Chain A
Amino acid sequence: MSGVTEAPGAAEAGDDARASRKLGLYLTLPAQLLVLFIAVFPLLMQLYISLTGWSPLTGMGWWNAWSLWNSFQNYVELAVDNRWWSALLRTLLVMVVCVPAEFLLGLGLATLFMDNFYGKRAFYSILLMPMMVVPAVAGYMFFMLFQSGGPVNDLLSTLSGQNIAIAWLSNPSLAMVAVMVADIWQWTPLMFLILLAGLVGVQEDQLKAATLLGANWRQRFVTIMLPRMKTIIIIALAIRTIENFKIFDTLYIMTGGGPGVATETISVYIYKLITNDLNWGYVAAIALVILLTLSVALGIAISRMGKASTEVTK
């Protein structure tokens, strides 16, 4: 017999650990499979289809798409697709106008709501209402508002004293303006809500301390409120940037992407590709490119913003 005796129960303990790891695996397996199915499977399927010329019109199931394999031809086509590039530019234009406008309006309103005024609660409810309107309904509302005989022109006529009948939705540049107005109307409340939460979260003592040190309102806003709201501002901007990039429903009901392609954003373009051309291999390629670009761009933007705001406070 060797002099080394194993501690009693050591082997059993090892077995126990192995057994409990196994049990853990079995218990979480269904959830893991579900996640795999929801997240990874469609992505792989999309990647697969994007490398083929498959369309539902071929009558084949998507799993047979390999017979129409065209390697990276869809991606090459996309790179030289003028309609795609224009749609992307329009989408970015809407984004750089709408998101800052919503942010500034939301911040302004949130600041107003820090003070008490008569009817504050009522105004609060009214302000949040646009956010709760179904986007399709909002689209219809603005479609009606911007008719040449509609309320917007009536209002302008009353204000200017002249008879104004602008054809908002059939003028290529004005249609874009109308679409932006609708987006700003609908999503400023969300900005307002998030930023108000941020403002309320700035400790009162900090503001009082700054006031007692002689800081005026503007100084308090710039040196205390904004830096302390940094995180929430980044979150608000990120949410709206992502959402705005996907702008579709309101816009589609107002203009259908027209006149011509004047308001055709990438979502509208993809929608048309899916329903009109049924070129689904191409759509899959576009979708993948958008997903990749958006993820990378947003990742860079958020880390930049974080760094920038820490430097500002230094």
Chain B
Amino acid sequence: MTSIRLDTLTKKFGAFSAIRTMDLEVHDGEFMALLGPSGCGKSTTMNIIAGMERPTSGRVLFGDRDISNVPMTRRGVGFVFQNYAIFTHMTVRQNLAYGLKARGTAGAETDRRVGAIADFLQLTPFLDQPSAKLSVNILQRIAIGRSAIVEPSIFLLDEPLSNVDAAFRAVMRTELKHLQRQFRQTMVYVTHDQLEAMTMADRIAVMDHGVLQQVGTPLEVYNNPVNIFVARFIGSPGMNLLPATLVELGGRLHADLGKAGLSRALTAPLAAAARGQKSRDVWFGFRPEELSVAADTAGLTLAVTFIERIGSRTIAHFDAGGVAVKGVFENDVALQAGSTAHVVAQEQSVRLFDRATGQAIVGD
């Protein structure tokens, strides 16, 4: 078992910077999700760890060992491809045995280990079948087993669930997490699906445009996004962000949201942080789930544009003076499209971001 350290890593493809100065440490035995939209550099990062690409500058360390110059044949990382890259011209057994055979492991030992891993992954009934026509969940298990059999200390997974339909994805998420607990390897999991990252990862590294935005546990990233990109990207729907001006009113700090009205007083720590940074123009952020309908006409005045019922919850779309706001409510919420609503964002959930830099305003 090994930790992975990326040390001032950069990668350029011609003039395009795929990764800009990235430092990241994945702890021993940790499940780290690399999360970001397409083209954010997460797959490139993964390929550099695997040795398929060379970094333009910077180092990759496994434990204390600099492996920047170790070719991918000898890095010994397990890799599960997006399409699984199963050797479809072989049987399941041959697929599983491939890594051991390539290393020249003895026949009896190979048979024993193939048997063991097939047993563990419930692949035994399929062992002698050609792998070409098996279903996706079996292919996934073959892909994992094929890498796991050589007992790599590091496991990399490149969007392994993106080819699977939604219902199955939920099953496979559980299965993958379960497998990781069993193997206890250091795992890096690339995905653009925040649900996968949130449910499976110990920590999430959010990337955008080749820049590492934030690293933290799923709840840290969800509750305290460091900037407006992470705030919008994490959560479904993402965090609401309204342009606001901070005003002192009766000794307490409020956010003036223009047409939507005035917010409730900010909490003391947040107000202190905002005062400390002398912030005035900010983004006023809150989660759609933290919105509630006000009992009176106090709170924010928003026009209801659209009501979306998704079964368990109701998502209300509001217009706050040209800015779209979403709120997630119980199904029996008394809101109607075309009407005006008075809603309150729960004080503890409010986050402020500097409008000039997009960075979160937080106390020390």
Question: Which A residues are closer than 8 A to B by beta carbons?
Answer: 203, 205-206, 208-216, 219, 223-224, 227-228, 230, 313-314
Contact = CB atoms under 8 A, between A and B. Distances in A.
Contacts of B91: 314
B62 interface: no
A20 to B, nearest CB: 39
A211 B81 CA distance: 13
Q: Which of A205, A209, A213, A228 has the most CB of B within 10 A?
A: A213
A223 B72 contact: no
Interface of B: 50, 52, 72-79, 81, 83, 85, 87, 89-91, 94, 98-99, 102-103, 146-147, 150
12 contacts: A205-B85, A208-B52, A212-B50, A212-B72, A212-B147, A213-B102, A214-B73, A214-B76, A214-B150, A216-B73, A219-B102, A313-B89
Contacts of B99: 213-214
B87 A224 contact: yes
Contact of A213 (B52, B89, B98): B98
Nearest to A213: B99
A250 B347 CA distance: 91
B85 A215 contact: no
Nearest to A212: B79
Contacts of B89: 227-228, 230, 313
A224 B90 CA distance: 9
Given A210-B87, A214-B150, 13 more contacts: A205-B85, A206-B87, A208-B72, A210-B98, A210-B102, A212-B73, A212-B147, A213-B99, A215-B73, A215-B98, A223-B98, A224-B87, A313-B90
Contacts of B146: 209, 213
B151 to A, nearest CB: 12
Q: Is the interface of B mostly helix, strand, loop or mixed?
A: mixed
A216 B98 CA distance: 12
Contacts of A212: 50, 72-73, 75, 77-79, 147
Contacts of A228: 89
Nearest to B156: A212
A58 B94 CA distance: 69
Contact of A209 (B76, B79, B94, B103): B79
A228 B76 CA distance: 25
A5 to B, nearest CB: 51
A256 B72 CA distance: 57
B102 A209 contact: no
Would you list the 3 A-B pairs with minimal beta carbon distance, nearest first? A213-B99, A205-B85, A215-B102
A65 B102 CA distance: 68
B106 to A, nearest CB: 15
Contacts of B94: 313-314
A4 B282 CA distance: 86
A148 to B, nearest CB: 52
